[in-house]
Amino acid sequence: MEVAAARPQSADMTQSAFWLFLTMLPAFAHDAEPPTVTVHLYNLAGVPDGILNQATGIVHHLYAGTGVELKWVRQTASVARPGEGNAFRPRATPAEVSVRLLPKELSDGLVRSGSAKLGFVYPGEKNAYRYLATVLYDRVERAARELYDIPLPLLLGYIMAHELGHLLLGPDAHARGTIMACPWDTGEFRFVKRDQLRFDQKQRAELRSQVSGRLEAAARRVTADVAARVPAGN
Ligand SMILES: [Zn+2]
């Protein structure tokens, strides 16, 4: 918190009480501030900035509607190597997840050619946090053009929102009539085309709860990390 940086070196009792009050503020303000999850974005497919900015804008808006804030961080390092999928954790905190957009040459090695998949999340162990969502960009591009006649940034945004949904809600989160429908039927696609498909009330509550839980787990880990670095005997 910026205010804390101006903290005087020698505070009297009144000032101490004041600072204590300030440090307690986030706890009271918790409900007012949307829980935020950091999304590391790996554009390995070379998606043009214009398309990517529009797509992430759509994802951002869809999650804002659930009360969850997304903080985007563009990354450049490759996370395409086999074996990094399920266990991939860029910062090893549950408050951060990653989305990678893959080009055809990498998609083809991961998904059967006949599969209709546009993206996926490694299911991972039950009750374990999932960190990495994959979007098969060449397939999304083709589906937007040939299958659905839908603007590419719109479809890309909705696919990213769906896969992010799996990271936070789990692999079994499919539900008809929502962003988490799979596959989207004609009715759902009509809503995607109008940018009107959404998370339902239950999903919105669950997303907020999951992100809050991840933030608490991340905070606990930081505390544990700091405690571990304090030399014994101090
Ligand atoms: Zn799905």
The token pair at 124 is 């991972």
Segment among 24-38, 78-92, 152-166 with least mean pLDDT: 78-92
Average the pLDDT over 185-209 and give the result.
Answer: 95
Average the pLDDT over 9-23 and give the result.
Answer: 41
Give the pLDDT of residue 142.
93
DSSP at 146? I
Average the pLDDT over 187-211 and give the result.
Answer: 96
Average the pLDDT over 51-61 and give the result.
Answer: 98
Measured in whole angstroms, how far is the alpha carbon of residue 82 from the centre of its chain? 21
Give the pLDDT of residue 106.
84
- Asked if 59 and 161 count as a contact pair (C-beta separation under 8 A), the reply is yes
What does residue 36 show for φ and ψ, rounded to 5 degrees? -115, 130
Q: How far is the CA of 23 from the centre of ligand 1 (A)?
A: 41
Share of the chain above pLDDT 90, in %: 55
Segment among 27-36, 78-87, 100-109 with least mean pLDDT: 78-87
CATH architecture, range 36-172+201-218: 3-Layer(aba) Sandwich (3.40)
Average the pLDDT over 72-99 and give the result.
Answer: 72
For residue 221, pLDDT beyond 90: no
The token pair at 141 is 């591009």
Give the pLDDT of residue 80.
60
Question: Between residues 161 and 78, which one has the greater pLDDT?
Answer: 161
For residue 205, pLDDT beyond 90: yes
For residue 216, pLDDT beyond 70: yes
Give the pLDDT of residue 102.
92
For residue 118, pLDDT beyond 60: yes
CA-to-CA distance for 49 and 10, rounded, in angstroms? 50
Give the pLDDT of residue 127.
81
Q: How far is the CA of 208 from the centre of ligand 1 (A)?
A: 19
For residue 112, pLDDT beyond 90: no
Domain ranges for the chain, please list them: 36-172+201-218
Give the pLDDT of residue 91.
58
Instruction: Quickly count helices (H) and strands (E) in the chain.
Output: 8, 5
- E strand map for 15-159: 36-43, 69-75, 96-102, 119-121, 132-136
Q: How far is the CA of 188 from the centre of ligand 1 (A)?
A: 14
Q: How far is the CA of 36 from the centre of ligand 1 (A)?
A: 22
Average the pLDDT over 66-84 and give the result.
Answer: 79
What does residue 73 show for φ and ψ, rounded to 5 degrees? -130, 115
Instruction: Please tell me the pTM assigned to this model.
Output: 0.80
Give the pLDDT of residue 28.
45
Q: How far is the CA of 159 from the centre of ligand 1 (A)?
A: 9
Give the pLDDT of residue 51.
98
Residues measured by CB to lie within 5 Å of ligand 1, the ion:
182
CA distances from 49 to 57, 154, 191 (A): 12, 14, 25
